[in-house]
Chain A
Amino acid sequence: MTEQQALYKYSLRLGDNALILSARLSEWCSNAPFLEEDLAVTNMALDLIGRAQAMLKYAGEVDGNSKTEDDLAYRRGERDYYNNLIMELPNGDFAYTMVRQLFVSTFELFFYEELQKSTDATLAAIAAKTLKEVKYHHLHAKDWVIRLGDGTEESNRRVQQAVNQLWMYTGELFEMDGTDALLMKDGIAVNAEHLKMGWIQMVTQILALANIELPADGYMQSGSRMGIHTEHLGHILSEMQYLQRAYPDATW
Chain B
Amino acid sequence: MVVSRFDKEQILDILATIPDPEIPVVNILEMGMVKDVVIGDDGYEVIITPTYSGCPAVGMITADIRSTLEAKGVVPTTVRMVYDPAWTTDWMTDVAKKKLHDYGIAPPLHSSCNDEMLDNNTITCPRCGSERTHLLSRFGSTACKALYKCDACLEPFEYFKCH
Contacts and interface: CB of A to CB of B under 8 A. Distances in A.
A43 B139 contact: yes
Contacts of B53: 47, 50-51, 53-54, 126, 129-130, 133
Contacts of A50: 50, 52-55
Interface stretch (A100-108, A117-125, A156-164, A234-242): A117-125
Given A39-B141, A139-B138, A140-B138, A48 B54 contact: yes
A139 B139 CA distance: 11
Contacts, number: 79
B82 interface: yes
A203 interface: no
A46 B56 contact: yes
A228 interface: no
B137 interface: yes
From B83, B140, B142, B147, name the one whose CB has the most chain A CB atoms within 10 angstroms.
B83
Interface in B80-107: 82-88
Interface residues of A, number: 29
A143 to B, nearest CB: 8
Interface string B53-64: 111100000000
B118 interface: yes
Given A36-B136, A133-B53, A136-B138, 12 more contacts: A43-B143, A44-B139, A46-B143, A49-B54, A50-B53, A50-B54, A53-B54, A125-B85, A125-B86, A129-B50, A135-B118, A139-B119
Interface of B: 50, 52-56, 82-88, 113, 115, 118-119, 136-143, 147, 161, 163
